[in-house]
Structure 1
């Protein structure tokens, strides 16, 4: 099963026709625009190109759709437990991302735990329990409200690095010993981004949290996580009960250079 990372046929179609309406992140809506498409999930991009071929295209259809998915990935903090897709599809997406994300020397140091329903709720109850004695009393209400927002979601993906894999690579390739922990962080970051983007492409909302290492021991004890799994992040997901806030970008003149073009 390949996750549908290319998020929206109608987003794609809007690049070819200004009359195309906004739609969901799947190709189902494309059946109305493109009735001849026999398999929208596989042919929607090609069909859009055929129907709007008279308009110049400045970017390949597949890369345009992928970039649209990147843009659509935002931090959604207003979540609910009404998932727009079945849990088994979410599980399959996370599994496929775990398999496909690169790692240094193909070391495959990423590990994942997905929590749904009551297990998800338990995680955020544990987090609140750990944080309460650490947070100043006059700040607790805001912290409690924030954690309640996470608990209101439908699930959490917990990302880990297998430190045994990292140490094994350090022993095997001593020349790069100091780099393998960094490369492990690179790989888990790619996995987090890929999972987040793909879930949002399926219509979910999500936000990424980092309550490690405060919750590491309790997580390990509660869900029998191996001692060599180091927690790196928690992706909270659920139905969208709100939208993302405004996001500003630094000028490209300050952040980007090109040479040899």
Structure 2
């Protein structure tokens, strides 16, 4: 373990694919590095970063219009952010018969790059909102709220419906609450103080400013195919795991 730690400070370690020898991995990574470097006029060079993840992160940092350093957040805000993240929406129901499988081309990237998308780049402000106001709201301020949603199941039961994942901590993003309202569910803000963490417009950046140049460079290469296109696809799906 100590030997590995010491070596990792000086060298990049590249994981081989399944059924791939070390020699084959060495040849592949060199071919991929050369292809993507030539296609981007050496703006993307895996030989200087060593992996898809670090390469994608390096390009993102070069191209984003977001601040190079993020603001520090306190423990309370960090706790709210973590509790609001309960994982992906997973839903299934029993069915027998013909089925259709579909895959939307780069949908995650599309959502990240949207001009209408908004990403906080500064700390939020805790607020206490009058619970009676929420009944009339269809749009919520950008942020995180302490709330319950109609139909909230017991903690040990399945937490997902077709369009919503319930949060056992009763902490939801504004996207969650708007989705619930659109689908006819009642939303109740908890009568606590604070019951909201709000990010004002001047503390957010659009998706196009945050990810636009990074995404467009890689997506256009991906569409062309070939070795560079294969690398670009891997880079496109590697960023959010490291941010």
Instruction: Give the TM-score taking structure 2 as reference length.
Output: 0.20
- Bigger CA radius of gyration: 2
Structure holding more helix per residue: 1
Instruction: Give the TM-score taking structure 1 as reference length.
Output: 0.19
